[in-house]
Structure 1
């Protein structure tokens, strides 16, 4: 009987491994360079990390880049299996399961160099219009502060141009994202803005696996395991170097 049980157990493990290998996960993200962008090497840093970890876990992947609202909707409806670049919010737990943190985003305010704004608390910023990208979660305190004058925009590029033109007083973005996008702007824009010293928040970046995928728990567990292994064997850090970060 013990031999039979062992054989059945081995067969079960083999079938699970085959199912994992056969499953092709549909990954999705919006354009968010340098983390996710089909025009960058291997789709950007975050896409590269996620695909590498999932490949190590035995999953084949395909990646599609769509606007953020469509990505969220697609994960909720099960048209996509994995959202590559998700910050945690409670609402998103209703449509997907979060992995552990695999990247950290440091969000900082930018202002015009000639504007003497100081930032010690959000109350200090209540008098100033702030450009924010629609659909993004900056921090719980920032997102829930009804006295902040938030001006919704489509992209950081639009936000920083409005800032340089004096149409808003502030904007906020992940530091690496802001530096990447500023490198693409006109010199006049780059020269007119600067980062404020204090960070707004530090946000953990996760994958979000659709609850419509019946294997979502296994996918998250496998991903978390491989990220830990990549950090231990040095391959995680090598991906940062390859992307110039």
Structure 2
């Protein structure tokens, strides 16, 4: 009995005193954070956040909701972490990751019969028809350009259909977003390299979670240093991490 009590005491002492389950809200976004066929959270960010949380003795619970719903829960202080939320889009005092892990990577897409095979710069598309997805917050490199004709699109699927049908000349979209588009349209459009622009997508943590935020930053640094992050972006976006990060400051 005495040995059993000692064993129980050892287990109790070894368990983190501040162990907790933190709730993260996100819109599903492959390949960063989404649910597999079994309903389990998976993706680059899920792996990184999971390792960081376990290192601190914590766990993360995931809610997959629309951005507006996540923001409402954030303002009501009913979640601990929100994915893809900037300082401007977070309540006062919330803490954002400083080491980029997730980027929104935008390429120019043209019709398959377009003679272009490499992205020539935004200047090439002056006076062209460009599909603009209503809900997108495009980076300055794209929004600052005015000498083309914007054609409104409700979502990425609409934009792809407009391009495939020849109603617009170019769209700016990430490759992963097109996975949900009708496969019959894939052969009618083509992605141009290199990247047009990219936008870092931070994670926002409620006040008091500085150590967890720092642990996630540390995990992002580790992935970058090991080359894993570079291989990830090459595999999913056809661009190196250096190309993606350099395009954050891209200009027209």
With the length of structure 1 as denominator, give the TM-score of the two structures: 0.69
After TM superposition, give the deviation of residue 169 of structure 1 in Å.
2.3
- Alignment-derived partner of residue 203 in structure 1: 199
- Alignment-derived partner of residue 157 in structure 2: 157
With the length of structure 2 as denominator, give the TM-score of the two structures: 0.67
Q: Deviations over 1:61-120 (max 9, x none)?
A: 11111112333343344333222345x5x6336554221212344321111123456854
Task: Work out the number of aligned pairs and report it.
Answer: 215
The separation in 2 between residues aligned to 1:93 and 1:140, in whole angstroms, is: 21
Alignment CA distance shift 1:193-1:233 (3 Å)? closer
* Structure 2 unaligned blocks of 5 or more: 1-12, 237-252
Check whether the contact 1:54–1:226 (CA below 8 A) recurs between aligned residues.
no
The separation in 2 between residues aligned to 1:227 and 1:119, in whole angstroms, is: 29
Q: How does 1:1-245 map to 2 (within 5 A)?
A: 18-19=17-18, 21-22=19-20, 24-39=21-36, 42-86=41-85, 91-92=88-89, 96-99=94-97, 100-116=99-115, 120-175=120-175, 177-178=176-177, 181=179, 185-187=182-184, 189-209=185-205, 213-229=206-222
Alignment CA distance shift 1:75-1:150 (3 Å)? farther
The separation in 1 between residues aligned to 2:63 and 2:151, in whole angstroms, is: 29
More helix by share: 1
After TM superposition, give the deviation of residue 208 of structure 1 in Å.
2.0
After TM superposition, give the deviation of residue 32 of structure 1 in Å.
1.9
Check whether the contact 1:138–1:201 (CA below 8 A) recurs between aligned residues.
no
Alignment CA distance shift 1:160-1:225 (3 Å)? same
Check whether the contact 1:113–1:192 (CA below 8 A) recurs between aligned residues.
yes
Alignment CA distance shift 1:127-1:31 (3 Å)? farther
Alignment CA distance shift 1:126-1:50 (3 Å)? farther
* Structure 1 unaligned blocks of 5 or more: 1-13
Q: Deviations over 1:170-203 (max 9, x none)?
A: 222223x146x16x6333x111100123321133
The separation in 2 between residues aligned to 1:66 and 1:29, in whole angstroms, is: 6
- Alignment-derived partner of residue 250 in structure 2: none
The separation in 2 between residues aligned to 1:67 and 1:155, in whole angstroms, is: 14
The separation in 2 between residues aligned to 1:35 and 1:152, in whole angstroms, is: 27
Check whether the contact 2:135–2:154 (CA below 8 A) recurs between aligned residues.
no
